[in-house]
Structure 1
Amino acid sequence: MDYNKKKTIKDLDVANKKVLVRVDFNVPLDKQGNITDDNRITAALPTIKYLVENQAKVILFSHLSRIKSEADKQTKTLKPIAKRLEELMKQKVVFVPVTEGEELETAVNKLNSGEILLVENTRFEDVVNGEVVKRESKNDSSLGKYWAGLGDLFINDAFGTAHRAHASNVGIAANIAQSGIGFLVEAELANLSKGIDNPATPFVAILGGAKVSDKIGVIDNLLNKVDKILIGGGMAYTFFAAQGHKVGKSLLEEDKIEDAKHYLEIGKGKIILPIDSANAPSFEDVVPTFSDTSNDMPTDVMGLDIGPKTIELFKKELTGAKTVVWNGPMGVTEFKNFEKGTLEVGQTIANLDGAFTLIGGGDSAAAAKKLGLADKFSWISTGGGASLEYMEGKALPGIEAIQDK
């Protein structure tokens, strides 16, 4: 995937043009509707500021969560995001509480150069008159065409949805004269490419999280490129089962045991599994017991983290690495007693000398932030699903749809 040939925001003349921008403002809200983490808003600021400074009329589109009913629309409005964006930009943001129609068209046509407008949650189009129709999520052709008709140019700066073909990214891009990627998407692609397509060696990948099924594509794509793949998290127990071991009450994907066997066979010497496991009698935050993974695990426990011997093994395997890609925690990081593996591995990666260190979004990014390590990595992706699909070597429809230079 060579996305270097895609037009960027700097390839387009934006002055006095109505520029439609797909951003990712899918931020977490508490029960009162307050934003609990505004990272995704701040990540979009360089593109928005550039457009304002270059006298564009800025029209922003974003989704927020999933919309499955009319009731969802009451709690998943972008209104609080407009307020936060005003504070960050230090200028008025026109919020339009609809996704189509005369109110939106009038507001767009009233915009002056350097002004910002935010359209209501694009996924409101997934439910119309109480019926689930998924116009946004299924890239309804008339909706993409309608939104494209509101502007002159399109910028995609929402990496978090780049792996989806929606009306607000692919649909708009297909129906507008000129399109390009924003600064955030450009940086995401540059860093993912550096970490995955052109890695300095030794190259070590660390994969964790719950399921082997979520990571099969990544293992498949990376096995030929890496020097080592370290496997932790719930997915490791399916690999132990593939070696013929019993795993007690641990998470196990029985239908993936054959896949795990296959990768252990072709990845001999490259795939490194945990050598001990931190266990609990059930899914609870208790003081762990430890077991050796070269034998059957006790029948009355479930593994919730890598053990201390594995932590030391993984540290050793990471020594001297020049590129590290990390996707997925080593254990249950929401439990104080089972965050140690993720914390220690994260600290080891963060302190590697002269290495390019990449976190592929999702749970590992959340874990790095929670553990206070976020600023120590070379790049943390803002797109969990999109970065995962990039790591699998899949094309990203939201980027493919952008014009080439």
Structure 2
Amino acid sequence: MRDAGAALVVCSHLGRPKGAPDPKYSLAPVAARLGELLEAPVAFATDTVGDSARSAVDGLTSGQVALLENLRFNPGETSKDSAEREAFAAQLAALAEAYVDDAFGAVHRKHASVYDVPARLPHFAGRLVLREVEVLARLRQEPDRPYVVVLGGSKVSDKLAVIEALLPTVDRLLIGGGMCFTFLRAQGHEVGKSLLEAEMVDTCRELLERGAGKILLPVDVVAATAFSADAEHDAVPVDQIPADRLGLDTGLARSRSSPTRSARPGRSSGTACVFELAPFAAGTRGVAEAITSVKGFTVVGGVDSAAAVRALGLDESSVHLHRRGACWSTWRARPP
């Protein structure tokens, strides 16, 4: 777009500020880094739709770029009051003539910059969004077999729709992360002080019945005395979790087993457990190593999962990491 003479107004969010400016979530460092990557100055607006934003945008000429401050500094961005959200969207839309969304990880949100602005401008999907849709379509429509999905995360309630959508399609669904303990309770096991959604136990029991032969759970876990890197911990079978301990990692018996290694294509979302604490990272590493060694089309999705692959120093060349994206841009056509 810059090469075609457009002036770009880049908008994004960072973190979860409470609808007010917060220095630790400022996009000022992003503007500096973007300028380095583009090898061109990037005008930075210190507000979202105020005097600084209007001045930065009005000062653009063909091929130049401006970055607005974190959109979540304005309460209208995430407001549940449609009038407040739409008012902010109208101010944003007034800064541009067309809209391109390339923030795949945010396209589902009913936020002003995602939902309301494109309703006011000619709008388009960016290349990142199109690529991610292409990948998901490949997994959903005619995946190669066997098709194995490793699903992590803390809560069953957050992943329920995903599980129900996947069950008819996958050959194996490996459940890890904190939500595995709700499934283990559904099987009648003691889970001690582990993360548990008691209200989801019956749902998990039904899923296990429907997914018999497809849903696989850990066979061992690392049970610790506390949520701490210094806590005493041991790997125990899932039917021997002490009542005074909590599971902070899945064991290696399942993570290194053939269901994961034989997947083609595969998909992973959510970490095995608390990989941020070194004593409890082995399960996540085991799963990640198995996934990155699979021959064929493999996808790793989710912020934590992608971060784990990188933090553990694993080879990314054999997998498609879901690129959540961090920005969406509006642009103005400018004559050369």
- Supply the distance in 1 between the matched residues of 2:222 and 2:52 (Cα, whole angstroms): 58
> Partner residue of 1:113?
62
Instruction: Choose 61-70 or 249-258, whichever is displaced more.
Output: 61-70
| Counterpart in the other structure of 2:144 | 200
What CA distance in whole angstroms lies between the structure 2 residues aligned with 1:296 and 1:180? 54
**Corresponding position of 1:346:** 288
Asked if residue 357 in structure 1 is aligned to residue 312 in structure 2, the reply is no
Q: Which residue of 1 aligns with 2:53?
A: 104
Candidates 316, 321, 326, aligned match of 2:258? 316
> How far, CA to CA, are the matches of 1:356 and 1:94 in structure 2?
40
Name the structure 2 match of 1:191. 135
Distance 2:252 2:54 in 1: 60
Displacement, 1:103?
4.2
Cα distance in 2 for partners of 1:75, 1:308 equals 38
Secondary structure (helix, strand or coil) at the match of 1:65 reads coil
Change (3 A) 1:369 1:196: farther
For the structure 1 residues 155 and 232, does the alpha-carbon distance in structure 2 shift closer, same or farther, using more than 3 Å as the test? same
Matched-pair contact (CA < 8 Å) for 1:137–1:165: no
- Equivalent residue for 1:279, pick from 223, 232, 257: 223
Give the Cα–Cα distance (whole angstroms) in 2 for the partners of residues 168 and 69 of structure 1. 14
- What fraction of aligned residue pairs are identical, expressed as a percent? 38
Q: Are the equivalent residues in 2 in contact too, given 1:53–1:114 (CA < 8 A)? A: yes
Pairing partner for 1:65 from 4, 15, 18: 15
Shift in alpha-carbon separation, 1:249–1:94, aligned structure 2, 3 A: same
Deviation at 1:117, TM superposition (A): 0.8
Q: CA RMSD in A?
A: 2.0
Counterpart residue identity of residue 262, structure 2: G
1:282 and 1:149 map into 2 onto residues whose CA distance is 53
What pairs up with 1:76-225 in 2 under 5 angstroms? Answer: 76-126=25-75, 134-138=76-80, 140-176=85-121, 178-225=122-169
Residues 146/284 of structure 1: CA separation in 2 closer, same or farther (3 Å cut): closer
Residues 232, 75 of structure 1: alpha-carbon distance in 2 compared, 3 angstrom cutoff:
closer
1:327 has 2:269 as partner? yes
What amino acid does structure 2 have at the position aligned with 1:166? H
Q: How far apart, CA to CA, are the structure 1 residues paired with 2:74 and 2:120? A: 18
Report the number of matched residues.
322
Which residue of 2 is the match for residue 369 of structure 1? 310
Q: CA deviation at 1:88?
A: 1.2
Long gaps (5+) in structure 1: 1-50, 127-133, 385-397, 399-405
Rate the CA distance shift 1:246–1:75 in 2: closer, same or farther, 3 A. closer
Structure 2 distance, partners of 1:122, 1:69, is: 9
Question: TM-score w.r.t. structure 1 length?
Answer: 0.75
Q: Deviations over 1:233-279 (max 9, x none)?
A: 22111111111121122222111100110100100000011111222
- Aligned amino acid, residue 174 of structure 1: A
C-alpha deviation, 1:66, in angstroms: 2.3
Counterpart of 1:213 in 2: which secondary structure?
helix
State whether residues 351 and 376 of structure 1, in contact with CA within 8 Å, keep that contact through their aligned partners in structure 2.
Answer: no
Alpha-carbon distance in 1 for matches of 2:248, 2:111: 37
- Give 1:374 shift: 5.6
2:235 alignment counterpart: 290
CA 1:351–1:190: 2 relative to 1, 3 Å = same
3-state DSSP of counterpart to 1:82: helix
TM-score normalised to the size of structure 2?
Answer: 0.89
Offset of 1:185 from its aligned partner?
A: 1.3
Equivalent position SS for 1:59: strand
State the secondary structure of the residue aligned to 1:214: helix
Corresponding residue SS for 1:300? coil
Measured in 1, the distance between the counterparts of 2:196 and 2:77 equals: 37
Asked if structure 2 preserves the Cα contact closer than 8 Å seen for 1:248 and 1:298, the reply is yes
User: Does the aligned pair in 1 maintain the 2:261–2:293 contact within 8 Å?
Assistant: no
Q: Deviations over 1:68-122 (max 9, x none)?
A: 264x434332212111111111100011212224443343233111110111221
- On the 8 A contact 2:219/2:237 being kept in 1, the answer is yes
- 1:382 deviates by 2.8
Aligned-pair CA distance for 1:320: 3.0
Greater relative contact order (CA < 8 Å, ≥ 6 in sequence): 2
Q: Does 1:54 pair with 2:4?
A: yes
Residue equivalent to 1:265: 209
Aligned 8 A contact 1:228 1:270 in 2: yes
Q: Distance in 2 between matches of 1:228 and 1:122?
A: 41
